[in-house]
Chains A and B, each alone.
Chain A
Amino acid sequence: MGRDRTLVYAVCLVAAIFPLLSGEYTTRVAIGALKYVVLAISFDILARTGNLSVGHAALFGLGAYAAALSNVYFNVPMELGPLVGGLAVLPMAVALGFLTLRMRGAYFSIATLAFAEAMRVLFLYARGVTLGAMGVGVPPIFGGNVVVDYYVILGIAIMSILLILLLEKTGVNYAFSAIRENEDAASVLGVNPTKYKVLAFALSALLAGAAGGFDAGYTTYVYPYEAFSVAISVAAMIMPIFGGLYTIEGPVLGAVFIYLAEEVLRGWLPFGYTLIYGLALIISILYLPMGIVGLLRGKKGKNWLESLKAVK
């Protein structure tokens, strides 16, 4: 335990001073990795209720568009983008939560995948409002200062981790697990599945929307093909699975590891570097039931697989 704590402090220290030590390129890589840390945690929160989202780009893209369009139409500064993105997606996520409430297993996943694709088609089509495929250009967040950008996304990532800690502290986490393992039994025991599933959806959307709102100002452009791309949904899904679902460190480790691996692979495999995602997912399901975290913690992995038996 003592060693773990030292390690956590060391990681925090490095994260706190990282952009001061490194150049612009590595800071940009770190920003990219932190963006996916937020998305991975967002996916994990929803997954804790037993729902596997294959369309997380929908929440991310809606957040990005909310931030960009509120800047274009109402002059809301991009510095508020993460807040606007997160809060704008929240009511939509509550509606989605109710809509998908009774869907189980593959049906939920298909619906989320279809919803993200539907959003892309809609934002391409409604060009009067969204400017269609041309995309929306916005001024850079904090004048494009990379170091400041780093601390903004680091702040969002830290808040995401604190949110999970809060869920675990308040026991909401147990309600999520109960629903995941057996929804009917959970409701007999007095856990209201509707309440907790909608809550999980809302918190998940808050984070994904904030990441999208940040990304709009960071990249200064929002396009339908990128904001709602399957690649984002895929990353948000695979990173926490590979890292280890339902843990705090899993999504963080998975996001950092896969993002860095992708950066390296992209250099000598410009086409098909996404191979890393396919392989990571296949390996996770076949050999690493608890992801990297399971590997680090030893052979506890089996328990997790057992607990999943009830999901179907």
Chain B
Amino acid sequence: MQSELVLQVVVNGILLGGFYALVTLGLNLIFGVMDVTNFAHGDLIMLAAYFSYWAAELLGIDPVTFIPVNAALMFLVGLAFYRAALKPVLKAPAYNQIALTFGFSIFLQSLALILWTSDMRQIEVPYASSVLQLGPVSVGLGKLIAFLIAFGFTLGFLVFLSRTKLGGAMRSVSQDPMAASLMGIDVDRIYLLTSGIASLLAGVAGSLVTLNLYINPFIGGELTLKAFGVVILGGMGSYLGMIVASMVLGLAEAFVGAFVPQGGSLAPGIAFAVIVAVLALRPKGLFGR
């Protein structure tokens, strides 16, 4: 009985962890390539979630079907975001980068409040709430779909990064922008595309949020902090570390939620506690240089 419960919690944690990996991917990418900590990352996901909500409410489009359109829309948002929020502070001190991206975080949140108010919104997706029984474990279809899509995009992105010419250019810019530019890479264009791709990935994550959760304009801040928790645990700019840390966070939240009395209200605090604890011991993250 107990072991079946543990198995169920492990499965829930892994499903959650896969989603967190995708949530973190865009933040990690911008940090790795541009060396900018984007405090507005979660708000881009929030914006995409509302795009998905609008598509469902106004046009009756299913959130999963809408993913390609949402990704394309968010890619364009990412290009604009680069021009407005990242490019002006690329070479600036950390102070300016934090303040400007944080300013855009509040800006996007306020914009969402004006457009959609602070009400909790949800899309009715009938199949998402159905449950699959796999032996002793029951899995919500919505969560399984979200996990598979998140995992697919994370893996697909890593293949893109290691196998394509553009991915190679992004890696070389992240290692040494000066050397990359001497090799004939247009660094500014790579930065622009990096921001677009990071935002595209946030777009996919935003679509998946609407599949399983209520949304309001404030979810961005919490997602940003969870993503920070993952990168601080896994190492800023490291992708393997990110996947492991996402799983650790997902499992930790699932276990605390299931086994600690009233753990459901404590689980969201794990990421925050991890950030404070890890940074206190290792001021540049667990694997920081």
Binding site for B on A (CB under 8 A): 50, 52, 54, 99-107, 109-111, 113-115, 117-118, 121-122, 124-125, 230, 234, 237-238, 241, 269, 271-275, 277-282, 284-286, 308-312
Q: Assess whether B107 is in contact with A279, with CB atoms less than 8 Å apart.
A: yes
Asked, given contacts A52-B99, A117-B225, A278-B104, whether A271 binds B117 with beta carbons under 8 Å apart, the answer is: yes
- Complex Cα distance, B271 from A234, in Å, reads 20
Q: Assess whether B113 is in contact with A272, with CB atoms less than 8 Å apart.
A: yes
Size of chain B's interface in residues, with CB distance under 8 A?
Answer: 50
B95 contacts the other chain (Cβ, under 8 Å)? yes
Q: Assess whether A275 is in contact with B114, with CB atoms less than 8 Å apart.
A: yes
Chain B residues within an 8 Å CB radius of A241: 99
Select from chain A the residue with minimum beta-carbon distance to B96. Answer: A285
Q: Assess whether A275 is in contact with B110, with CB atoms less than 8 Å apart.
A: yes
- Complex Cα distance, B100 from A43, in Å, reads 17
Stretch touching chain A among B52-60, B130-138, B200-208, B277-285: B277-285
Chain B residues within an 8 Å CB radius of A111: 275-276, 279-280
Chain B residues within an 8 Å CB radius of A312: 92-95
17 A–B contacts, CB within 8 A, in A order: A106-B97, A107-B232, A110-B37, A110-B275, A113-B228, A115-B276, A125-B265, A125-B269, A269-B114, A271-B118, A275-B106, A278-B105, A282-B107, A286-B88, A309-B93, A310-B93, A311-B93
- Complex Cα distance, B111 from A294, in Å, reads 29
Q: Assess whether B100 is in contact with A281, with CB atoms less than 8 Å apart.
A: yes
Asked, given contacts A111-B276, A122-B269, A277-B106, whether A282 binds B113 with beta carbons under 8 Å apart, the answer is: no
Q: How far is the CB of B107 from chain A (nearest CB, A)?
A: 3
Q: Assess whether A285 is in contact with B100, with CB atoms less than 8 Å apart.
A: yes
Q: Assess whether B229 is in contact with A234, with CB atoms less than 8 Å apart.
A: no
Select from chain A the residue with minimum beta-carbon distance to B271. Answer: A114
B268 contacts the other chain (Cβ, under 8 Å)? yes
- Complex Cα distance, B271 from A284, in Å, reads 31
Chain A residues within an 8 Å CB radius of B105: 278
Q: Assess whether B114 is in contact with A271, with CB atoms less than 8 Å apart.
A: yes
- Complex Cα distance, B276 from A111, in Å, reads 5
B221 contacts the other chain (Cβ, under 8 Å)? yes
Interface string of B82-110 (1 = CB under 8 A from A): 00000011001111111110111111111
Q: Assess whether A121 is in contact with B98, with CB atoms less than 8 Å apart.
A: no
Asked, given contacts A107-B283, A275-B107, A281-B100, whether A121 binds B265 with beta carbons under 8 Å apart, the answer is: yes
Chain A residues within an 8 Å CB radius of B284: 103-104, 107
Select from chain B the residue with minimum beta-carbon distance to A106. Answer: B37
Q: Assess whether A114 is in contact with B107, with CB atoms less than 8 Å apart.
A: no
Q: Assess whether A311 is in contact with B95, with CB atoms less than 8 Å apart.
A: yes
Chain A residues within an 8 Å CB radius of B96: 285, 308
Chain A residues within an 8 Å CB radius of B112: 272
Chain A residues within an 8 Å CB radius of B39: 54, 109
Chain B residues within an 8 Å CB radius of A230: 218, 221
Select from chain A the residue with minimum beta-carbon distance to B224. Answer: A113
Chain A residues within an 8 Å CB radius of B117: 271
Select from chain B the residue with minimum beta-carbon distance to A307. Answer: B93
Q: Assess whether B272 is in contact with A106, with CB atoms less than 8 Å apart.
A: no
Chain B residues within an 8 Å CB radius of A234: 106
Starting from the known contacts A110-B228, A278-B104, 6 additional A-B residue pairs (CB-CB under 8 Å) come to A117-B269, A118-B276, A238-B103, A285-B89, A308-B95, A309-B93
Select from chain A the residue with minimum beta-carbon distance to B117. Answer: A271
Chain A residues within an 8 Å CB radius of B285: 107
Instruction: Name A118's contact: one of B88, B114, B273 (CB within 8 Å).
Output: B273
